[in-house]
Amino acid sequence: MYEFDWSSIPGALPFLWEGMKVSLEITACAVLFGIAWGTLLAMARLAAIKPLTWLAAGYVNLFRAIPLVMVLLWFFLIVPQVLRGVFNLSATTDVRLASALVGFALFEAAYYSEIIRAGIQSVPKGQVAAAAALGMTYAQAMRLVVLPQAFRNMVPLLLTQAIVLFQDTSLVYVSALADFFGVAYKVGDRDGRLVELLLFAGAVYFLICFAASQAVRHYQKKLNAHGAH
């Protein structure tokens, strides 16, 4: 019968924290870029210019149809070559983190764009007409009237997607990047305590994601209560 030994975990905590910082960095960058690029994609899909709509729809459908791990693997193979060619980097320069950031950001933008598009469509069209009656251009109406209301409605969904993204950061193992999961696996393999380290990593992921989900649920309740008034 397997005997659990948790004694290697205290000594691994500094390494696990370094890995957690990598996971959080990837999450934060992907969320920020994903929302920014996703907003532009959503607006492009709602635009009256058909070629722009088709291009945005093609981008979204492409990334939503491909597994994330495959996207990360592609960018792990492609981005280093591009960066070394553009910036004349040496072959020994580690660009795995940059590859992961690009892959996650572009992938998540496709999902954020659908959330944002639904949020924009949830705003009554009369708001745009009222803004036009006040002399606003379409761009001004979107920036000052529609988007603020849309983002307020979709914040819970955006945060929920961020939680999913944090969980998905463990997939950067395909590039051997030392994120939280990757560090836990390596330390466990080194110390011969892989089961204990992976169980500990799973517990940490659960606690973080559960706490974040509860915070989102609490915010959703406050938002609904405010909307009722």
Average of per-residue pLDDT values in the chain = 88
The count of other CB atoms within 10 Å of the CB of residue 72 is 24
Separation between Cα atoms, residue 145 and residue 128, nearest integer Å: 7
Separation between Cα atoms, residue 88 and residue 162, nearest integer Å: 34
In this structure, which CATH number among 1.10.3720.10, 1.10.10.10, 2.60.120.10, 1.10.1040.10 belongs to the domain 8-228? 1.10.3720.10
Residue 226, amino acid? H
3-state secondary structure 157-212: HHHHHHHHHHHHHHHHHHHCCCCHHHHHHHHHHHHCCHHHHHHHHHHHHHHHHHHH
pLDDT tens, per residue, the chain with 229 residues: 778 888 889 999 999 999 999 999 999 999 999 999 999 999 899 888 899 999 999 999 999 999 999 988 888 888 777 767 776 766 666 678 888 898 999 999 999 999 999 988 888 888 878 888 888 887 788 888 888 888 888 888 999 999 999 999 999 887 778 899 999 999 999 989 999 999 999 999 999 999 999 999 998 888 777 765 5
Domain range summary for the chain, segments of one domain joined by +: 8-228
- pLDDT score of 183: 94
pTM: 0.85
Structure token digits, residue 218: 């609490």
pLDDT in tens, 24-43: 999 999 999 999 999 999 98
- pLDDT score of 146: 86
- pLDDT score of 225: 77
- pLDDT score of 104: 93
DSSP string, 55-94: HHHHHHHHHHTS-HHHHHHHHHHHHHHHHHHHH---TT--
Sign of CA dihedral 136, 142, 144, 146: positive
